[in-house]
Amino acid sequence: MNIVKFKFREPHITHLSNPISKNHEKKIIFFSKLELTSILSLYSRQVAKGLWKDYALDNQNGTAIFSIFRHTHDKPIYRIVKKKLKGLKKKNEFLIIKDAQIINKSSELLLALSKFEKKISIMRY
């Protein structure tokens, strides 16, 4: 009678769930939870007013883009873009773009979004 012993070994797991190389990971930029909360808060106020209808999130060429649409099948009326400043590790730049023109630019998101806030002024008669 022969006795056969089987050796169990752990399967070799390749990183199929994350095929991005470490050099490419540094180029990915995304909105943080706080930034996305402030953008969605502005978005919900504008939807309640009936000005905006749809949005999209995108990530292209080292930028994070939040596109805002008036109609679902239309081109975006505004794009909120987050990009990393060259040479500075943790500094970001936020742009508000309308029809390929930069209408507001800031290193802080809330300052860039202040363009959408309605300014109240007192008028004298």
In a domain, 13, yes or no: no
Domain hosting 35: range is 28-116
Task: Please give the tally of structural domains in the chain.
Answer: 1
Per-residue pLDDT reduced to its tens digit, 75-104: 999 999 999 888 767 788 999 999 889 999
DSSP state of 84: E
Contact between 112 and 104 (Cβ < 8 Å)? yes
In a domain, 64, yes or no: yes
In a domain, 20, yes or no: no
What number of other Cβ atoms are within 10 A of residue 55's Cβ?
Answer: 17
Distance CA 11, CA 42 (A): 49
In a domain, 123, yes or no: no
Provide, for the chain, the percentages of residues in helix, strand and coil under a 3-state DSSP scheme, each rounded to the nearest 5. 25, 25, 50
Per-residue pLDDT reduced to its tens digit, 27-51: 788 999 999 999 999 999 999 999 9
In a domain, 102, yes or no: yes
